[in-house]
Structure 1
């Protein structure tokens, strides 16, 4: 069972699932996917938040990849309430 946190939204699950399936992706690509019903700008905003929490990584040029932590969350092995955002951004 996945253990989301209060800051986590429905699109965050879809973003992580997309990156798990496709290995990488940009907010533009994700926003065009049939399971993600949000604008590119909103997906981009959520990607930045997911990256701050270490669930995805900005690979450069607007491309994101899922991290081990993101994979652990999808597998139900990580409680997101235990994560703290990266204060460097």
Structure 2
């Protein structure tokens, strides 16, 4: 069973599952999948978040690929409960904003 972090949303799993099934992908390719009812901008934001914590890797052209850590998470072998949030969100939490 997957152990997601508190900051994760259901879409994060769908994004990683899509990339696992289809290989390196652009957020717009993911948004074109009928099973994912979100736009490419929102998906891109989530991809950046997942890349910040090491579950995805941005290949530098807006294309994201699943990392070994992301694959382990999908297979239920790795918990991301303790994965820290991005520095930006951590700062928001400590600044009360």
TM-score by length of structure 2 reads: 0.84
User: So what's the TM-score if we normalise by structure 1?
Assistant: 0.92
Alpha-carbon contact 1:27-1:41 (below 8 Å) kept = yes
Name the structure 2 match of 1:16: 16
> How many equivalent pairs are there?
88
Look up the SS of the partner of 1:81 in the other structure: coil
SS across alignment from 1:65: strand
Offset at 1:85? 4.4
Q: Is the 8 A contact 2:49 2:86 kept in 1?
A: no
Verify the 8 A CA contact 1:54 1:85 in the aligned structure 2. no
- Give ranges in structure 1 of 5+ residues lacking alignment: none
